[in-house]
Structure 1
Amino acid sequence: MKAVVLNAYGDVDNLVVREMPEPTVGPGEVKVRVTAASINPVDWKIRRGDMKEMMPVTFPTILGRDVSGEVLEVGPDVKDFKRGDRVMGLVSSGYAQTVVAPANVWARVPDSLELKDAAALPLVTLTGAQLIEEQLKPAKGATVLITGAVGAVGRAALFAAKARGVKVWAGVRATQVEEARELGADGVVALDDSGEVAKLPMLDAVADTVGGEAVMAVLDKVKPGGLVCSVVGEPKGAKEKGLRVSSFLSHPDGRRLAQLGESVAKGELRIPIGKTFKLDEAKAAQKHAEKGGTGKVLLVN
């Protein structure tokens, strides 16, 4: 099969398209012909070596955490999927023509959702939902601020928080305020405007999806003993202010992913797609994604 292989840490020139052995399916596994994979920040952070302490890799390696496609084969004991099913999943080695992963990471793609577009969903929707549902666990009526609310993870976190009856503030850059007003949050604040941050009510918790100055800007607005939970590591200074801090990495969950996919299909949750590239254009695709923006970047076979 054709795959995009990373040969060493460094820039995009270390990504090479080449033939790799076809993965074989084992007990409890599902083999999928990949229609599309999406590019996530973790991909270029691994490529650059930013995460080699936390997530070391053995070269050559295939990047890519989420894909959509059609089931080619199922292993023994797999009852929930069959050949031809349209699926999406949070996997490993997604920049390829075929992927094998355990059955419990896969979810069916709703009929009304383009199969290609479904590749944008697994990592970001699960990360956002798990940030709220498994880590923050806010009580009904709590006041929570989500940083990076117009980003894909932020949108999923906001969606999950609203479903729990939480009062949600969308934290964004000043240039994103108008876009953020369309997300259904109870309030929108420009985190790069100290005057606007000062007007925030006291917060029970912060769900941080971007880190850096964005989350540091609101630490003084979190109630003593409040929780700051981040997907990008513990924010500096939070513990010193008497706040509880937690950080986490998302995990596969086919059941929850299926529910989130249905929400996207119904228009309840929207994950924008920015640009699509061919698998052979992985270098250009990562360069484009690394520049930032609110639309997911896809690689299609």
Structure 2
Amino acid sequence: MKAVVLKSYGDVDALAVQDMPEPKVGPGEVKVRVTAAGINPVDWKIRRGDMKAMMPLQFPTILGRDVAGEVMEVGPGVSDFKPGDRVMGVVNAGYAEKVVAPVESWAKVPESMDLKDAAALPLVTLTGVQLMEEAVNPKKGDTVLVIGALGAVGRAAVFAAKARGAKVLAGVRGSQKAEAQKLGVDGVFALDVADEFSKLPMLDAVADTVGGQVVARVLEKVKPGGTLGSVLGEPPEAKGRQITVRAILSHPDSRRLTQLGQAVAKGDLVIPVSKRFPLEQVKEAQKLAEQGGVGKVLLVN
């Protein structure tokens, strides 16, 4: 099968499309013919070597954490899926024509949804929802700021916070304010504009998808006893403050992913897709995605 292989740490020239052995399905696993794979920040961070201390690689390796496609085969013990089912899931080695992952990684794709676009959903929607539900865990009426609210993870976090009955504020760049108004939040703040930042109210909680100096500055707006949830680890500036910090790594959740797919199909949650590239154009696709400020970028077979 064809797959995108990372040959070494480096820029996009370290990526190559080549033939690789087809994965075999085992007990409790599902084999899927990949229709499309999503490109996520973790992919280029791994490629550049940013994560080699916590995630050392053996080369060559296949990148890619989420896909959508059709079930080809199920392993012993699998009853939730059958060949021909349209599915999406959080996987490893998704930049390929075929992939195998445990049954709990997969969810069925709503009939009304384009199967290619479903590949944009698994990792980012689960990460955003788990950030809000497991790390921030707001109560009804809490004032919650989502930093990076227009990103795919941020959009999912906003969706989950609104479902909890929280008062949701979107933290974005000044150039994104008009677009952020479409999220249906209770307020939009340009965190890179001093006058706007000063108008931020005191917060019960922050959901951070950006990190860096932005979250460091926002911490001064969190009430004593408040909460910071992050997908980027605990910021050093949080030490010594009277706040609870919870950094999360997303995990597969078939049931929740099914619900999120249904929410997207209904239009209750929107995850924009910017552009689709064939697998052979992975270098151009990763370059575009890495620039930021765009919707999801997909690789299609």
Q: Does the 8 Å contact 2:285/2:297 carry over to 1?
A: yes
Match of 2:142 in 1: 142
Map residues 188-267 of structure 1 onto 2, 5 A cutoff: 188-267=188-267
4+ residue runs over 4 A deviation: none
Q: Which stretch shifts more, 139-148 or 217-226? A: 217-226
- How far, CA to CA, are the matches of 1:200 and 1:14 in structure 2? 43
Opposite residue 300 of structure 1, the aligned amino acid is V
- How far, CA to CA, are the matches of 1:39 and 1:96 in structure 2? 12
Match of 1:32 in 2: 32
Residue 241 of structure 1: SS of its match in structure 2?
coil
Residue 34 of structure 1: CA displacement? Answer: 0.1
Opposite residue 40 of structure 2, the aligned amino acid is N
CA RMSD of aligned residues (A): 0.9
Q: Does the 8 Å contact 2:144/2:207 carry over to 1?
A: yes
Residue 244 of structure 1: CA displacement? Answer: 2.2
- How far, CA to CA, are the matches of 2:264 and 2:257 in structure 1? 10
Q: Which stretch shifts more, 205-214 or 266-275? A: 205-214
- How far, CA to CA, are the matches of 1:235 and 1:186 in structure 2? 26
Match of 1:164 in 2: 164
Match of 1:10 in 2: 10
Match of 1:44 in 2: 44
Q: Does the 8 Å contact 2:135/2:230 carry over to 1?
A: no
- How far, CA to CA, are the matches of 2:212 and 2:190 in structure 1? 15
- How far, CA to CA, are the matches of 2:296 and 2:245 in structure 1? 28
Residue 54 of structure 2: SS of its match in structure 1?
coil
Match of 1:289 in 2: 289
Residue 58 of structure 1: SS of its match in structure 2?
coil
Partner deviation per Cα, 1:120-141 (whole Å, 9 max, x = no partner): 0000000000001111111111
- How far, CA to CA, are the matches of 1:78 and 1:19 in structure 2? 29
Residue 95 of structure 1: SS of its match in structure 2?
coil
Q: Does the 8 Å contact 1:228/1:243 carry over to 2?
A: yes
Q: Does the 8 Å contact 2:232/2:247 carry over to 1?
A: yes
Q: Which stretch shifts more, 230-239 or 107-116? A: 230-239
Partner deviation per Cα, 1:157-202 (whole Å, 9 max, x = no partner): 0000000000010000000000000001111000001211111111
- How far, CA to CA, are the matches of 1:60 and 1:225 in structure 2? 47
Q: Which stretch shifts more, 37-46 or 130-139? A: 130-139
Q: Does the 8 Å contact 1:150/1:294 carry over to 2?
A: no
- How far, CA to CA, are the matches of 1:234 and 1:178 in structure 2? 30
Is 1:273–2:277 an aligned residue pair? no
Structure 2 length-normalised TM: 0.98
Residue 75 of structure 1: CA displacement? Answer: 0.7
Match of 2:111 in 1: 111
Paired residues, number: 301
Opposite residue 131 of structure 2, the aligned amino acid is L
- How far, CA to CA, are the matches of 2:105 and 2:59 in structure 1? 25
Residue 240 of structure 2: SS of its match in structure 1?
helix
Structure 1 length-normalised TM: 0.98
Is 1:86–2:101 an aligned residue pair? no
Opposite residue 238 of structure 2, the aligned amino acid is A
Residue 260 of structure 1: SS of its match in structure 2?
helix
Residue 25 of structure 1: CA displacement? Answer: 0.5
Q: Does the 8 Å contact 1:46/1:52 carry over to 2?
A: yes
Match of 2:181 in 1: 181
Q: Does the 8 Å contact 2:29/2:103 carry over to 1?
A: yes
Residue 65 of structure 1: CA displacement? Answer: 0.1
Q: Does the 8 Å contact 1:191/1:217 carry over to 2?
A: no
Q: Does the 8 Å contact 1:152/1:294 carry over to 2?
A: no
- How far, CA to CA, are the matches of 1:140 and 1:175 in structure 2? 30
Partner deviation per Cα, 1:250-290 (whole Å, 9 max, x = no partner): 01111100000000000000000011100011111111111
- How far, CA to CA, are the matches of 1:196 and 1:99 in structure 2? 46
Residue 148 of structure 1: CA displacement? Answer: 0.3
Is 1:74–2:74 an aligned residue pair? yes
- How far, CA to CA, are the matches of 1:292 and 1:212 in structure 2? 16
